[in-house]
Amino acid sequence: MALWVYFDASALIKRYTQESGTPVVNEVFQLAPADLRMCLSLGLLEVISILVRKRNDGRMQEDYFRKALTAFTAEVVQDQRFSKLSVDDALIFDSSVLIERHGLNATDAVLLRSVLATRTTLQEQDDDLLLLTSDKRLVRATRSEGASALDPEIVSLAEVQALFPAADRR
């Protein structure tokens, strides 16, 4: 049984900017093989948008911005092992119930619907899925729907390490 990690943008950005939760995200990158990592394709744009916003408002120097964008592009965007999941109309329409049920915004509802569908597919292969997100509402909604979610800002490194036994690491 393998544990796949589904990153939302709020968690993934922590790999490329120093903020609360960065050590946990970095640990997950060390423990979860690249071919067991995934994100919503729309999340790629969200990460880039956050980097640009931080550069434009002065929280990030231009040279650090360029390094972060280059690292993100290499580790996620261009790495074929890191799965980027598409959004289609069916996923969008199936997400509307999650907006009302959990008070999510549209993007989070689409992401959660994708997490749930992906988890079902993985469980058929005896694998499991963990959503990594710093969005508290999304953590609650994911857990309410019966899936696993962790907030890298509040989980410990030891808790993360326990999810990835040494024998399971590739």
Tell me the pLDDT tens digit for each residue of 23-65: 999 999 999 999 999 999 999 999 999 999 999 999 999 999 9
For the stretch 56-100, pLDDT in tens is 999 999 999 999 999 999 999 999 999 999 999 999 999 999 999
- pLDDT, residue 165, reads 73
Q: What percent helix, strand, coil does the chain show, rounded to 5?
A: 60, 10, 25
pTM higher than the cut 0.85:
yes
Q: What is the mean pLDDT of residues 106-133?
A: 97
Domains of the chain: 3-168 (3.40.50.1010)
Q: pLDDT > 70: what percent of the chain?
A: 97
Classify the C-alpha dihedral 141-28-65-82 as positive or negative. Answer: negative
Residue type, 147: A
132 within 8 A of 113, measured Cβ to Cβ: no
Q: What is the spatial order of strands in the sheet that 3-7 belongs to?
A: 83-85, 37-40, 3-7, 128-132, 148-150
Is the per-residue pLDDT at 167 higher than 90?
A: no
The DSSP output letter for 105 is -
- Arithmetic mean of pLDDT over the chain: 95
Strand partners, 130: 5, 148
Which uninterrupted H or E stretch holds 110?
helix 106-124
Q: pLDDT > 90: what percent of the chain?
A: 95
Q: What is the mean pLDDT of residues 107-124?
A: 97
Going by pLDDT thresholds of 50, 70 and 90, the confidence category of residue 166 is: low
Going by pLDDT thresholds of 50, 70 and 90, the confidence category of residue 5 is: very high
108 within 8 A of 137, measured Cβ to Cβ: yes
- pLDDT, residue 53, reads 97
The span from the CA of 94 to the CA of 7, in Å, is 20
